[in-house]
Structure 1
């Protein structure tokens, strides 16, 4: 603490003329990243947007168990600026066809012992990213014990931040699971009550400019990281996981492996709220797809009994009913939740698979990630812990005709746990099985690398609303935060939409608010909470609307909104536009939307009417006025 504080004092006080500096700008010249070494050989960087300082002088560097790469460094070379251009296709998310363009420079350093260390900077029009690399080759294992990367924002910067939970806390010791409420518009100096810092993506507003921070390209040899405010250095720092966040007491926690070894990209979006909301940096910097065949990957909607009916719904007859429900709604999937192996049994599951096939529906089965990291008793468990058992189970599921798995209750971000995620995704991909992670970490762009990763929870989702009235009371504002936070870059299995009622809970959001969620939230497979009885009470136009909504988009646009208050987005699939919005506050609002980009001249809108009912009306493209009730919402389709 004291040493890093002194380092930043030296960096901030040393004149630029006395430092070895270089710079790289975005293609449109609006973002500039300056970087270099101080006289003490401490690497640093600073960032400005259109001449306004966004991140002040901030520390860089890594510390390995065998050597230090954060001080006493010398510049071996600084590359010229090169152009980075990448185009790729996503099978889910905001956009299908994406083009990433950035300028890159590399700083190659040597430490006091002559070992090489590289820092690579990419700067695009919507932000920047940096990562570290040890380029030399070794046969012995190297362990990284600390990362010095920091983000020094101006005084008065506010954050919209989700706290990291305490490892081994929560029900059956199942934390951390990225399931805490956001602290919104909070001073970044304020420590979260849980004391463990903040998870990604973290959203900040500094000097009137919006900044999002996440990581991408997280390989199996690095741990997942998060952020923590360091009072001594007055900066937000990257920190490693808590001691218990690993697969076993003696398993790897910190990054380790033979060289060459790279860190993930530290990804920072910069701009106005529209720029942040439309950004795809989280997948732009992710590792490229390893899939050779993606024909089996079909985004879609799933029916799901457990959300409202809980454990007793996991039985043969109810599952058959929900298969019929999915078929009637033209949905592709039906999820069978925990304890199916004991409550239904494998032989009966095979019968349900055959029945579902006749209805053009495929099943998804729940699994416990197992291991010593939690005490959850639900089964099946222990199926994915070794390469042999993973391949055996996925081959069985593939042979049976199962479409995918929902794997629950992981144990954190230690390097061994991150490697376990990769093991599961690789094996599932080989056997053409779709994956949904629950009680899990943030995907960090893995859906690009492994397109069979359809979604992940990592959020305080709908199930919490069904358990606690205090959660339901806060839910509208929480959900209005998510397009700008958790769901900004990565798919999110919030399991949304209760149109009718939640047992023993007074739902605060309106029916139209709930109807908006499946097209507002991004998830490769969207598991919907509403059950057949609730759906049957809805007007025909609502049911028809829900029979034909995509979960993968060709284009998305931010139209209006503010984190935690409201969110209005437009999403296009083919020639069809969906406009969707929610009001997260307990007061009515009006918006004027510019829909001139919509080519169709006329569409329809469903919004809140009187006495809790929804109403349908015709709407024309162009300038459209929308009135939202307190905790209300709307959908449009052109």
Structure 2
């Protein structure tokens, strides 16, 4: 299948101190082991690592079939944050010089952060950024942004944007983690409709200082539920190694591009079930936004009448998985409180 458009990312769990040479090497290896195409190096890499060593990391990443994405501060008078690099994206002259340099380094994408509102000059800034990046073959991820408004149709190198209260906010405050099950279900019916959405989903092994309320099966469902041209996953290399082999293998083989989407069942804030078809088969994912179990009988006849596959659900103990074989064009499944599931039916 080749490398999928998933991305390893140290900052989401480990924050600023993780932006260093050795940790980035570790996350490049992580992406390579998982068959993911990208590794994101976050804020202030120019100070913490530097351009010369980023070039070394890029060369190493390419030897592992991984490409680097680098963070940038959008800068401008609307932006007082100290994170760097600043001002490199602000004018056409500075952008083109930076994109040319990234080309020489073998860097494939940028994540541009801290945009300032929805005024006409700022919207024009987005368009200029996408157009200039396209000339240099650079893909763009925007963070701290407005809704994407279908821009990815006009600019194929614009791969994703935040414009959502995503996983980052869950890592900051317990109250956000408490609201996550309900919040995640709401995104299926609201923000995710305006795809792409860079929620940066799926933490399985836990968050430092935060009690995650969603179950592991709920988290596993999110990369299937949410749409993004590049999915930055919120898991660590050592956290992934704690997962059962069948979960690791599932994530190594999980597609990042889809042929078809079907809404199967759900209600805003309560629960949601969607199905996506890829070249290798159908994936059905569900999440429960409530703190009570939810039993479902799902009609999957749209995917075929002779289905055979595996169901990944929560185990009896919080933080554990179970795997079951499933047959037929209907699926009976009970989601645990704040839980979820994923079913995979390989193409025959």
Asked if Structure 1 and Structure 2 have the same fold, meaning a TM-score greater than 0.5 normalized by the shorter chain, the answer is yes
**2:135 equivalent to 1:434:** no
Query: In the alignment, which of 103, 113, 122 is matched to residue 398 of structure 1?
Result: 103
Higher relative contact order (CA 8 A, sep 6+): 2
* Alignment correspondent of 2:14: 309
Say if 1:598 and 1:621, in contact at 8 Å, map to a contact too: no
**What's the CA shift for 1:399?**
2.0
**CA–CA distance in 1 between the matches of 2:258 and 2:10?**
26
Query: In the alignment, which of 608, 618, 621 is matched to residue 314 of structure 2?
Result: 608
* Alignment correspondent of 1:460: 165
Deviation readout 1:117-171 (Å, 9 max, x if unpaired): xxxxxxxxxxxxxxxxxxxxxxxxxxxxxxxxxxxxxxxxxxxxxxxxxxxxxxx
Query: In the alignment, which of 174, 187, 193 is matched to residue 488 of structure 1?
Result: 193
Larger proportion of strand = 1
Question: Which of these two proteins has the greater Rg computed from alpha carbons?
Answer: 1
Deviation readout 1:345-370 (Å, 9 max, x if unpaired): 01100110111111000000000000
**What's the CA shift for 1:548?**
1.4
**CA–CA distance in 2 between the matches of 1:582 and 1:311?**
31
SS at match of 2:253: coil
**2:341 equivalent to 1:634:** yes
Larger proportion of helix = 2
* Alignment correspondent of 1:533: 238
* Alignment correspondent of 1:5: none
Query: In the alignment, which of 622, 628, 637 is matched to residue 329 of structure 2?
Result: 622
Q: 4+ runs of 1 displaced by more than 2 Å?
A: 597-601
1:239-254 equivalent positions in 2, closer than 5 A: none
* Alignment correspondent of 2:299: 594
> What TM-score comes out, normalization by structure 1 length?
0.53
Say if 2:185 and 2:272, in contact at 8 Å, map to a contact too: yes
> What TM-score comes out, normalization by structure 2 length?
0.96
1:498-509 equivalent positions in 2, closer than 5 A: 498-509=203-214
**CA–CA distance in 2 between the matches of 1:415 and 1:480?**
32
1:115-130 equivalent positions in 2, closer than 5 A: none
**CA–CA distance in 1 between the matches of 2:104 and 2:20?**
22
**CA–CA distance in 1 between the matches of 2:330 and 2:254?**
24
* Alignment correspondent of 2:248: 543
Aligned length: 341
SS at match of 2:193: coil
SS at match of 2:317: coil
Say if 1:410 and 1:440, in contact at 8 Å, map to a contact too: yes
Which segments of 5 or more consecutive residues in structure 1 lack a partner in the other structure? 1-297
**What's the CA shift for 1:308?**
0.4
**Cα RMSD between the aligned structures?**
1.0
**CA–CA distance in 1 between the matches of 2:118 and 2:98?**
25
**What's the CA shift for 1:597?**
2.3
Cα pair distance change 1:575/1:320, threshold 3 Å: closer
Deviation readout 1:56-75 (Å, 9 max, x if unpaired): xxxxxxxxxxxxxxxxxxxx
**CA–CA distance in 2 between the matches of 1:634 and 1:510?**
10
